[in-house]
Amino acid sequence: MPARIAATIVGLSISPIRGASDLDFSRKDAVAVPNSLNMSSIDNLTVPFGISKDQENFRLLELPPALLASITSANPPSLLLKSAASETGSGLNPQNHAVLCTDAQTFNVRQVQSSNSVFILHTSVDLLHDDPCTPDANVAAIAQCTSTLELIPPAITALAALRQTLPIYNLADHQNQSGLAAHFNESEKFGRHKAFQNTPTSQREFDDAWLESCAFELDRQAWIPSASSLRGIWTSITAAAAVKDIDLTGRFRVIDLVDIIEEDGFPNALFNAVIKRVSIANGSLISGWATVCSDKCVSWVGNILVNAQPMSHQAQGISESDFLTDWKDLLPEGWRKHVTLGALKGEYFQPSKGRLAFGGNTKDVSAAISNPNGKRSGKWHEKFKNTRR
């Protein structure tokens, strides 16, 4: 890179400076043009410009308008750069990338190369002939940026990121201690706080994902329960309510169900996580009492049944009537009328009349079943008819 350059920009003649030592880089003054100068004098104004020998390191970050307005407001949010811990990475590049988080939003950080020459300038102002109306402005490039960082929406949801961070809890593994002993030493355990540090999401998104997934801590280790464990503990909850004559559609004391739940082998921490997930109090238990939200509970139980289906059902499917019956049996009688396939939000498809299948990308699997040989249409014009105007 040459030590000095000269150019003409916006009618101003920019001449080489006498040397980098002529610039006072400690000063933060901007180039000022006196109001007394007329247009003809502006046309003849020269600004000495040079490139500093000692270049600094800068990264340019392009912000979305909404985020820019937020951080320049009277109460700007805190910003946090983070990524998934390398040891928890599953090989999926989207999770291992750096993200920028506010208190409630997450952005993937992407580097974009630029073919333009972008310089960071430093200015200083000296006075000539002791005349305060005639400033001598020096401009020097102290850095060159060949790329820009831009913020884009995250590639995966906060719930998916949390699932990739936390180990899966299965009741059978923990009853014989193989799940905990085989994978974790005391020094390797991490709780909720460290789980947040290792999950590339904002605090609010992490908290929402933690609540939605019924994540919990057991023996100083954070866990995310499997669908079969969630189905098992919900079955235990409904059975305990029947034994204790507790109406789950009304307000009840949480502690009244604990003893039976623990007899079935489920940890109290998982029980509390499930009750918080389906309660109307947005994840909090008020004075040990809880009220289950019917809409939350009906759809949540249906999704548990979907995710707990064995792999064999992903292909041939199961009877629709049997599935709906199992779903209703896990709900209080007054809520069974709300059981509809629409509450599953597209997490199923129908390979044939009266049968349901689950798992994977339902659209892709459904298309594969409707066209099992994977044959393409031999009529080329069929491929383009939808694009005709």
pLDDT tens digits for range 100-125: 999 999 999 999 998 888 889 888 66
Most confidently predicted of 2-16, 190-204, 373-387: 190-204
Alpha-carbon gap, residue 272 to 126, rounded angstroms: 69
Terminus-to-terminus CA distance in the chain, angstroms? 53
pTM: 0.74
The mean pLDDT value of the chain amounts to: 77
Which pLDDT does position 288 carry in this prediction? 85
Q: Greater confidence, 234 or 288? A: 234
Mean pLDDT of 235-252: 94
Chain position carrying tokens 């080329």: 380
Which pLDDT does position 33 carry in this prediction? 42
Q: Tell me the C-alpha to C-alpha distance, in Å, between residue 106 and each of 16, 82, 134, 166, 207.
A: 45, 10, 49, 19, 13
Question: 73 pLDDT exceeds 50?
Answer: yes
286's tokens: 């008020």
Chain position carrying tokens 């059981």: 339
Which pLDDT does position 138 carry in this prediction? 81
Which pLDDT does position 7 carry in this prediction? 31
Q: Greater confidence, 7 or 136? A: 136
Q: Greater confidence, 309 or 203? A: 203
Alpha-carbon gap, residue 263 to 175, rounded angstroms: 12
